[in-house]
Amino acid sequence: MKAFNYLIPITIIGSLSIFAACEEDIKSPVTGPPVETLPANTEYDPAFSGQTRIGSVETLTPIKVTVLTSELNAPWGITNLPDGRLLITEKGGELHIVSASGEISEALDGIPSVNASGQGGLLGVCIDPQFASNRMIYWVFSEQRENGTLTAVAKGRLSDDETSIENASVIYRAEPAFNGDLHYGGRVVFDTEGNLFVSTGERSSLETRPLSQSVTAALGKTIRITTDGQPASGNPDFEGDGALPELYSIGHRNPQGIAIHPTTGDLWQSEHGPRGGDEINRVSSGANYGWPVITYGIEYSGATIGEGIQQKVGMAQPVYYWDPVISPSGITLYSGNHVPEWENNLFITALSGKHIARLIINSNTVVGEERLLEDQNQRFRDITQGPDDALYAITDEGRLYKIDKE
């Protein structure tokens, strides 16, 4: 495939003297009006100040945005190889290696077949922390089973000649399967102890929605497993007969983004709400995030969800939420030094919002929000930070962006 490599001149200039500011000023910046100007779908009150529509901020550092290629086919997941190249999944079931200049390899052989209907396909991907010695890759996909589809986790070895995945095997299946094609969740990352976090969706249906609260089902959950697919040591003990030992958190709707904070090791998550109520969560072991009992959204029809409540004892609040939705997908936390004011900021790819959201977080509270690349009119699907400290983002329309200082 031919790669395109051209620059989009974009310099994001603001009035905040961030470089001249002290560290505390960077954490608690002066802000402008919220970036969201459209009316909310509901009149629900946030649980605390700053939980939604926080003040706007602007990046001072001149930023260069490069479209490395426009020839990907519905890319879904992106991660880095140690040498700076990228592994990118495509929804239809192909996995490619993409060079730093945007050259796309042939599809790697050996990937099990996926059910790519609806929101299914080849989804999130990550590499083993010991990849340099073991060459292991892990990915999530929607797998066809006799009684429906489910979110599955697989692993395999990248061959020495980089043409195939060797000995691919499914190590975990989020049961029960369901005859539907929505809300698979689908991200996978390593924690700080060498185990895997996996996000699973509740499959959207009114029939399966309550399973988000069930400790005997793996739908609507954060799963924590070993690289062999077994429950990881130190997982929480949920109350209830038959509670699954792989559960780490419950009460999720469709979490399409998970990332580890580079300094605290905390797990952060983005989650699709219904009509309103997209969430950012800092996921704690054993916590219940409430879906569908509490939510800041409503049904697509406009009807109230459940009792129409947003808070309940024993259920965790999102750190931040959006109404109207931006449809948050992949996320990453910035740990580079090219753009100092981005340190430890959370970057969220927005599908319906068609931008990359930047959230400044101070003491686990969002203190500023910025929208990047709005002018590109792309459905941003996933984002990662490369070993060169640049951000790399993919879009449903097939683009791969490099975002870095000028």
Active-site residues: which are they?
183
**Contact between residue 174 and residue 123 where contact means Cβ atoms under 8 Å apart:** no
Q: What is the DSSP string of 45-106?
A: PPSSTTSSSPEE----S-EEEEEEES--SSEEEEEE-TTS-EEEEETTS-EEEE-TT-PBPP
**Contact between residue 97 and residue 125 where contact means Cβ atoms under 8 Å apart:** no
Q: 10 Å Cβ neighbour count for 24?
A: 9
Residue written as tokens 């083993």? 128
Q: What is the DSSP string of 150-184?
A: EEEEEEEEEPTTSSBEEEEEEEEE-SSPBS--S--
**Contact between residue 235 and residue 226 where contact means Cβ atoms under 8 Å apart:** no
Give Rg (Cα) of the chain: 20
Distance CA 109, CA 156 (A): 11
Distance CA 54, CA 321 (A): 10
CA 35, 37, 38, 40 torsion-angle sign: positive
Question: Which residues partner with 391 through β-bridges?
Answer: 385, 403
Question: Which residues partner with 156 through β-bridges?
Answer: 137
**Contact between residue 274 and residue 304 where contact means Cβ atoms under 8 Å apart:** no
**Contact between residue 276 and residue 324 where contact means Cβ atoms under 8 Å apart:** yes
Chain-centroid distance of CA 276 in Å reads 18
- Structure-block tokens of residue 161: 């000649």
**Contact between residue 244 and residue 270 where contact means Cβ atoms under 8 Å apart:** no
